[in-house]
Amino acid sequence: MMKDFSTTAPPLEVHDLTVAYDRRPVLYGIDLTVPAGSLTGIIGPNGAGKSTLLKAVLGLLPLSAGWVKIFGAPLAQNARRTGYVPQRESVDWDFPVNVMDVVLMGRYGHLAPGRRPGRADREIARACLDQVQMLPLARRQIGNLSGGQRQRVFLARALAQESDLYFMDEPFAGVDAATEAAIIDLLREMKARGKTVVVVHHDLSTVRDYFDRLVLLNVRLVAAGPTAEVFTPELLQKTYGGRLTILSDVVQSLGEEP
């Protein structure tokens, strides 16, 4: 059964968020609200600040200005309700742990300090691995996985957190077609269960099929709203500028009937 979100604060609110490196803003004055139960894509050119936005929201980068609320409160008060799938490139894949160890890390937020995962946590981890079709590889070292398998393990770890709001940084990057199809099926299932998912994405050709809402970003917020309203040639041109010429087929298709 879908949850009733009508009387609760939105999963994510961002006001006047600014992040700067060496006094140069990489995100400037971002105002954004993500409604509950949505599957939201963040798109924009390289260097637009997409990954930076996720990290800033999650407290992994300091804010130069503005604030972030998760379900109406600071992140620290709702950290357990928030899950994160980082880019695969940011992980040390030579670290000597196996698949099950990685997924169990998703349970740590539910454990008392100093307590180790128990039988119930392992059952949850096994169920999450089964959901991403990785249970047979539970004992394999993470360094011996393919790119698509690693991404599935990351998703299983996020599922094991049993969060309500998920942030995913390019989960489709560098995976095979079967893994991409499995990931989007999983994200749609999460949305159907009332979860809120925010995804950094780079492939404009799949945007209309994958996301019901979009955030168009290029240092500043260009637009945010339902995909049907903001995924337009005019707003894409404003977001990507001259770099959109290589995506002319996508822009042209927007004028065609689906």
Report CA dihedral (226, 231, 235, 241) to the nearest 10 degrees: 140
Measuring CA to CA, which residue among 203, 171, 176 is closest to residue 187? 171
Render each residue's pLDDT in the chain as its tens digit; 258 residues: 454 444 589 999 999 999 998 878 899 999 999 999 999 999 999 989 999 999 999 999 999 999 999 999 999 999 889 998 888 766 666 778 899 999 998 888 777 677 787 888 999 999 999 998 899 999 999 888 888 888 889 889 988 988 999 999 999 988 888 889 989 999 999 999 999 999 999 999 999 999 999 999 999 999 999 999 999 999 999 999 866 554 555 555 665 544
Say if CB 52 and CB 62 are below 8 A apart.
Answer: no
Alpha-carbon distance 74 to 41, whole Å? 23
- Quickly list DSSP for the chain: -----TTS--SEEEEEEEEEETTEEEEEEEEEEE-TT-EEEEE--TTSSHHHHHHHHTTSS--SEEEEEETTB-GGGSGGGEEEE--GGGS-TTSS-BHHHHHHGGGGGGSPTTPPP-HHHHHHHHHHHHHTT-GGGTTSBGGGS-HHHHHHHHHHHHHHTT-SEEEEESTTTT--HHHHHHHHHHHHHHHHTT-EEEEE---GGGHHHH-SEEEEEESEEEEEEEHHHH-SHHHHHHHHGGGGGGGHHHHHHTTS--
Domain boundaries, the chain: 12-253
What CATH architecture is 12-253? 3-Layer(aba) Sandwich (3.40)
Alpha-carbon distance 165 to 16, whole Å? 21
Alpha-carbon distance 52 to 31, whole Å? 15
